[in-house]
Structure 1
Amino acid sequence: MCTLHYLCSYTQSDLGRRIITQPSGVTKIDYIKSALKKAGYTVNILSLSEGDFEHPFFIYKSLTIKIDKAETLKFISTFCRSNVLLKVLSRLWMYCQLWHYLIFKVKQDDCVLIYHSLAYVFPIKVFRFFSNRKIYFEVEELFNAVYSNGELKIEKEKKYLRNAAGYLLINDLISKLSGFSQKGVVCYGIYSKADMPKTSLGDGKIHLLYAGVIGHEDALMAVDMCRFLSHKYYMHILGYGSKDGILDLECRIEEVNRQMGFKIVSYDGCLSGNEYATFLAKCDIGICTRFLDDSMSNYTFPSKVLAYMSNGLLPVSSPLTCIKKSKVSEYVVFSEEVTPESFAKAVKSINTEYYKYDNSILTKLDQDFIFELKHLFN
């Protein structure tokens, strides 16, 4: 099998490098690289993450770590981006290091898997113009669709992604919608089951969880749906966001609790790793209040749906076509509309006394995914 070069934004928390990454993206990359190794590939990860802009001046040298005989992890050199000039210089420096890696480290028979990001569009377009090496894209979302930037920009993004050697795709719809002609393998999210056994908070309540970015309408809707629930339910909000976004959330939580006359919802901070898994093990139902227009959601797949499933929570989701047309649709409860009242109605329709969630589908999805990976890169 070919050596696979995986270009992405990645980190390991114990290294202490102050670089920009997305927690959900890092989790997905961890799963993908594990599956690739199980499929028999040697994986060289190149983390293109740039320095953050919240800390005083710092410079990181490039760093290469040999994880095991099948995996090597390399971080580019980077520095803080505390002003506009440093941001521009950082981006140009990232481009130069990316080109150097592709030209001098990637052999002719190697394969390159690129975790799609708008930050990589220019350097990858330049490289593809001069090189015929095999480029594969991991498409987790079309950014211009997610941000509703209009059909012209969406089509431009699709055009950039076309004519790759193959794809890792986030759902079953995006390939046809984007006009991809080459083979693709679909991976909705993390198919591994959590090791943490289910526990109970011991208060007799049904515990709901919304986990995601704070500052979007999605999180506020999860809070607002509590207005239509009784004291037998309790909503937990987990996630990260801006200070203003978290402040708005906490104000809405205070308002809802005051209106209900008892505490029904709380913000429990941003958790990760074992803390996150332990918390999920105490909850019963996971809420996915995706607020994006359904036609735009066809270019995405809510990662929290698989996160809930892998931790034994029953997902309750917006009526999104990308989920309804997926292999996990029968394991998800859908609200009829994207409103707080409709979500509450969907939650109340679940009889948790007789319902035992079965996430065995994840084992099959994992096995099928690894098998398909063996035939994707050739």
Structure 2
Amino acid sequence: MSATEQKKIIYYIGFYDGKYCHRRGNTEQNLAGSMKMDFVIQSLKKLGYKVVIVSLTQGNRCFAVEERYSVDENEQYIYLPYAAIKWNGKLKGCSRTMQFFLKKFIQSNLKKDSILISYHSLVYGETLTKLHKKIGFKWYAQVEELYCLSRKDFYSPDQLQKEEKMFDTADGFLFVNDIMKEKYAKGKKCAISYGNYHFFAKRETQNDGQINIAYTGIINEDRGIFTLMDAMQYLPQKYILNVLGYGLEQHMNRFKNRMNAINQKAGYEKIKFLGTKKGDEFSKFLSSNDIGVSLMDVEDEIAKNAFPSKIMAYLGHSLYVVSSKCEAIVNSKVAHLLYFCDNEPSKVAETILRVPVNKDCDMKQELEKLEEAFLVELQQVLEE
């Protein structure tokens, strides 16, 4: 792009977290999604685009005005206003006001030659479909997972069909795995990235003989944390599990009760819960571990319609990764970097014991190759 040529603006809609806003209280709701959005933002800037991030994130306050922040001339954040009421400790009505202000923003700012990327959401999917048809802007849907498949109790055939229609009319796609491309692209241009390919840090060498295992993310029945906890009982004393996570109250209670029981039986703190961390604290935490574990139910549809972002975060901090044999992961371009296991506690433990933790695990070159390939794909998607 020549110095005299005006940079093309790309509007990027999603629930980006609140590190650039200050008037809506605690906004730490979408750390994994924001990390992936960060990667897309930096990729777009490398390709010469100006990115305007339009965030619908809410805080813990009932009302928030619009906030704007510019990182530099090519990266601007707009946090849309919202209004809600608090009922039983939760905000109600946010999605309605968010859709109103998003619709107003798009109608005021986007024209037929505008470019919009949306992080797939049930909140505004139908709104974008209608406005895309009416205005005619270029729309590229970023689909990281299908939410009605992400938990067994969310699933219904009607809901799945409704959710698929929310991005079906997009002009192109950013997918999180190769299977989704085959299923949903329908001949349209698409780019695939499994997560954030940024290389953050090399793993810190431990001198005390202790081997630290990391689990990060949601704590529930579907994502493998309870299988991993049971696997710890098959491992020698030097193996310690460090957990960063969050979840519904009933899942957190079960997790803490199980952790306490295992630690009491072991006679020492074999499993440690460290709450949640973000930014530099999250990066420092990962760098202090040796192995990262990602377990998903291989029988569920989510195994084909997602890709755990934690895998790329682990690799980006030079951790060895133990993963379940999900179809989307086994058939990915990072499969050769992973240690696969069956989803049984004893089998998980056997695989962890096979990991050569004393050898260096520098993933910088591997991640750079993945990023270069994604940039080529992304440019091809965005070209007229």
Partners of 1:3 and 1:356 in 2: CA distance: 38
* Residue 18 (structure 2) pairs with residue 12 (structure 1): yes
Query: Does the 8 Å contact 1:51/1:79 carry over to 2?
Result: no
Q: 1:316 to 1:370 in 2, by over 3 A?
A: same
Does 2:70 correspond to 1:66? yes
What is the distance in 2 between the residues matched to 1:223 and 1:87? 34
Superposed, 1:163-178 pairs within 5 Å as 163-178=169-184
1:343 aligns with one of 323, 345, 348: 348
CA distance in 2, matches of 1:7, 1:281: 31
**Partner SS state of residue 175, structure 1:** helix
Asked if 1:219 is matched to 2:210, the reply is no
Equivalenced residues, count: 371
Give the aligned residue type for 2:81.
S
Which runs of structure 2 are paired with 1:190-229 in the superposition (5 Å)?
A: 190-194=196-200, 196-217=201-222, 218-229=224-235
Equivalent position of 1:79 in the other structure: 83
Q: Is residue 235 of structure 1 aligned with residue 241 of structure 2? A: yes
For 1:274-289, list aligned pairs within 5 A: 274-289=280-295
For 1:25, the aligned partner's letter is G
Q: Residues 180 and 142 from structure 1, CA distance in 2 versus in 1: closer, same or farther, beyond 3 angstroms?
A: farther
Query: In 2, distance between residues paired with 1:204 and 1:87?
Result: 47
Cα distance in 2 for partners of 1:293, 1:234 equals 28
Partner of 1:306 in structure 2?
312
C-alpha spacing 1:139/1:363, structure 2 compared with 1 (3 Å): same
Shift of residue 60 of structure 1?
1.6
- Say if 1:209 and 1:251 are closer, same or farther in 2 by CA, change over 3 A: same
Q: Compute the displacement of 1:82 (Å).
A: 1.1
Match of 1:205, as an amino acid?
Answer: Q
Aligned equivalents of 1:163 and 1:93: distance in 2? 24
Asked if residue 145 in structure 1 is aligned to residue 153 in structure 2, the reply is no
Deviates most, 196-205 or 341-350: 196-205
Q: CA deviation at 1:89?
A: 4.0
Give structure 2 stretches of 5+ with no counterpart.
1-6
Distance 1:130 1:320 in 2: 39
What is the CA–CA distance in structure 2 between the aligned matches of 1:224 and 1:296, rounded to whole Å?
23
Partner Cα distance (1:267, 1:11) in 2: 23
Matched, 1:110 2:118: no
* One-letter amino acid matched to 1:272: K
Q: Is the 8 A contact 1:51 1:81 kept in 2?
A: no
Give 1:268 shift: 1.9
Alpha-carbon offset, residue 303 of structure 1: 0.6
Distance 1:213 1:135, change over 3 A: same
For residues 338-372 of structure 1, give each alpha carbon's deviation from its aligned partner in whole angstroms, at most 9, with x where no partner exists. Answer: 11111111111223234645442101111222222
Report the secondary structure of 1:32's partner residue: helix
Could you tell me which residue of structure 1 aligns to residue 40 of structure 2?
32
In the alignment, what sits opposite 1:370? 375
Say if 2:296 is the partner of 1:290.
Answer: yes
Q: Which residue of 1 aligns with 2:332?
A: 326
Cα offset, 1:271, TM superposition: 1.5
Secondary structure, in 3 states, of the residue corresponding to 2:226? helix
For residue 82 of structure 1, give the secondary structure of its aligned residue in structure 2. strand
Does the residue aligned with 1:72 lie in a helix, a strand or coil?
A: strand
Is contact 2:173-2:185 (8 Å) kept? Answer: no
Contact kept, 8 Å, 1:139 with 1:169, in 2: the verdict is yes
TM-score of the superposition, structure 1-length normalised? Answer: 0.91
Given that residues 283 and 313 in structure 1 are in contact (C-alpha distance below 8 angstroms), is that contact kept between their aligned partners in structure 2?
yes
- Please give the alpha-carbon distance, in whole angstroms, between the structure 2 residues aligned to 1:92 and 1:150: 24
Tell me, yes or no, if structure 1 residue 128 matches structure 2 residue 136: no
CA distance in 2, matches of 1:26, 1:164: 22
Cα distance change on mapping 1:71 and 1:357 into 2, 3 Å: closer
C-alpha displacement of 1:322: 0.4
Give the 3 Å change call, closer, same or farther, for CA 41–14 of structure 1 in structure 2.
Answer: closer
CA distance in 1, matches of 2:47, 2:77: 18
2:54 alignment partner, SS class: strand
Q: How high is the sequence identity, in percent, across the aligned residues? A: 25
2:160 matched to 1:154?
Answer: yes
TM-score, structure 2 as length reference: 0.90
The CA distance in 2 between the partners of 1:282 and 1:338, in whole Å, is 25
Instruction: Please report how far the alpha carbon of residue 259 of structure 1 lies from its aligned counterpart in structure 2 after TM superposition.
Output: 2.5
Distance in 2 separating the partners of 1:93 and 1:12: 18
Map 1:177-196 → 2, pairs under 5 A:
177-178=183-184, 180-194=186-200, 196=201
What is the aligned partner in structure 1 of residue 273 from structure 2? Answer: 267
Amino acid at match of 2:327: T
Inter-partner Cα distance in structure 2 for 1:207 and 1:353: 12
User: 1:3 & 1:353 partners in 2: Cα distance?
Assistant: 47
Please state if 1:22 is matched with 2:30. yes
Contact 1:4 1:43 in 2 (8 A): yes
Kept in 2: contact 1:48–1:94 (CA 8 A): yes
